[in-house]
Amino acid sequence: MPPPPATILTRATRPITATVQLTYMAQGFDWSVNYVGRLRPEGDAIALFAWLTVANGGQQNFREARLQVVAGKPSKRENNPPPPPPAPAMEMASPVAVVGSAQANVEALGDLKLYRVPMRVTVAAQAQKQVAMLVQPAAAFERVYLVDLTGGATPAGATRTAPFELRARNVVKEGLGVPLPAGTVALFARGAGRDLYAGEAPIDDRAVGEDVALRFGDSPDVSWALMRVAEARNREQWRVDIFNARGSAIRTEVLLPFGIEEKPPGARREERGWTLPVDVAPNGTISVTYATRR
């Protein structure tokens, strides 16, 4: 059975030929941002690229459509009970079509951002469409390894590997300075003549001028061990050894518990304890001692 025709009632004071644009909410759509970061050989910057992926989970084809997406967290209010939610569109095993070499243009939309695909595209039913969203070839990031001592001592003779964060300021002079919609960042590093997967990190919506922190998994090149070296009735003495197997110096941040006797110089108070920056030489080891009250 063919779909029912659309009927529009209007009033006119004289006969006229006009073009009518019909705007309506289409159901079953989803979109996401997928970033790909490639560490540059110097190690202090990444080439950052982002795909905008739109998925059509419905049964209707949209041919030669103007495609726009809104990034951010718009305020929504429902006037009518919502329909039953469709299956998540981005989880469909559906074909993906890539829009040539085009890149979406960003525009301000109040406090949000609107991304407009510069040409008409076709989004088929049960399919996905991808278009380039962001290309930043040299975004400066600082790599920081995290040593969390709030969980207690490591077993005798054992070490723990340290996760790392890539941190940046979202400004032009640091190679960014563009709105960054929420998504995931897949990180690759060059090794053995090819790109090797180095981990994945979530990213929240970040406006121009805000700080960006991408937390990845543990690095086998940086490890640490914590041991109790002395104890008395009301006091315990601790030492953490940090090992750097990399051929370059690294920056670590050591998270100390709140119960330390004295705040170390340079430490700053955070939600879970005191954070102390510690630099470790190439292929080197450094030790930090502190005392806690029982």
Structural contact between residues 181 and 32, judged by C-beta atoms closer than 8 angstroms: no
| Cα(86)–Cα(58) distance, integer angstroms | 8
Q: How, if at all, do strands 142-148 and 160-169 pair? A: antiparallel
Residue 151 CA to chain centroid, in angstroms?
A: 27
Using only C-alpha atoms, the chain has a radius of gyration, in whole angstroms, of: 26
- Residues 131-178 have pLDDT tens digits of 888 899 999 999 999 999 988 777 877 899 999 999 999 999 999 999
> Which residue positions in the chain have pLDDT lower than 70?
1-6, 23-26, 42, 73-101
Give the start-to-end residue ranges of the domains of the chain: 29-139, 141-170+210-293
- Residues 238-271 have pLDDT tens digits of 999 999 999 999 999 999 988 888 888 889 998 8
Cβ neighbour number for residue 146 with a 10 Å cutoff:
18
pLDDT at 157: 73
Class of domain 141-170+210-293 (CATH, top level)? mainly beta
Q: HSE-up of 182 (CA within 13 Å, CB side)? A: 8
| Cα(26)–Cα(5) distance, integer angstroms | 17
Q: What is the value of pTM for the model shown?
A: 0.77
